[in-house]
Homo-oligomer: A and B are copies of this chain.
Amino acid sequence: MIDKRKYSLAEALEGISDGAVVMIGGFGAVGQPDALVDALAEIGPRDLTVIANNAGWSRETGIPRLMDLGLVRKIICSFPKGSEVFKSLYLAGKIELEIVPQGTLAERIRCAGAGIPAFYTATAAGTQLEKGKETREFDGRRYVMERALPADVALIEAWAGDRWGNLSYQGSGRNFNPVMATAAKLTICQVHELLDAPLDPNAIVTPGIFVNRIVQVKADSDRLIAAQRLA
Q: Is the CB–CB distance between B107 and A169 below 8 Å?
A: no
Question: Residue A138 at the B interface, CB < 8 A?
Answer: yes
Tally A residues with Cβ within 8 Å of B: 21
User: How far apart are the CA atoms of A33 and B109 in the complex, in Å?
Assistant: 33
Determine how close the nearest CB of chain B comes to the CB of A219; give it in whole angstroms. 16
Q: Which residues of A contact B (CB under 8 A)?
A: 107, 111, 114-122, 138-139, 141, 143, 147, 168-170, 202-203
Across the A-B interface, give the 6 residue pairs with the lowest CB-CB distance, nearest first.
Answer: A117-B138, A119-B119, A118-B120, A116-B119, A117-B120, A117-B143
Interchain CB contact (< 8 A) of A117 among B116, B139, B169: B139
Determine how close the nearest CB of chain B comes to the CB of A41; give it in whole angstroms. 31
Q: Is the CB–CB distance between B121 and A119 below 8 Å?
A: no
Determine how close the nearest CB of chain B comes to the CB of A62; give it in whole angstroms. 25
User: How far apart are the CA atoms of A96 and B121 in the complex, in Å?
Assistant: 31
User: How far apart are the CA atoms of A114 and B121 in the complex, in Å?
Assistant: 9
Interchain CB contact (< 8 A) of A115 among B114, B116, B121, B202: B121
Task: Provide the residues of chain B in CB contact with A111, threshold 8 Å.
Answer: 119
Determine how close the nearest CB of chain B comes to the CB of A103; give it in whole angstroms. 9
Task: Provide the residues of chain B in CB contact with A119, threshold 8 Å.
Answer: 111, 116, 118-120
Determine how close the nearest CB of chain B comes to the CB of A190; give it in whole angstroms. 19
User: How far apart are the CA atoms of A138 and B115 in the complex, in Å?
Assistant: 12
User: How far apart are the CA atoms of A111 and B119 in the complex, in Å?
Assistant: 9
User: How far apart are the CA atoms of A35 and B122 in the complex, in Å?
Assistant: 38
User: How far apart are the CA atoms of A120 and B120 in the complex, in Å?
Assistant: 9
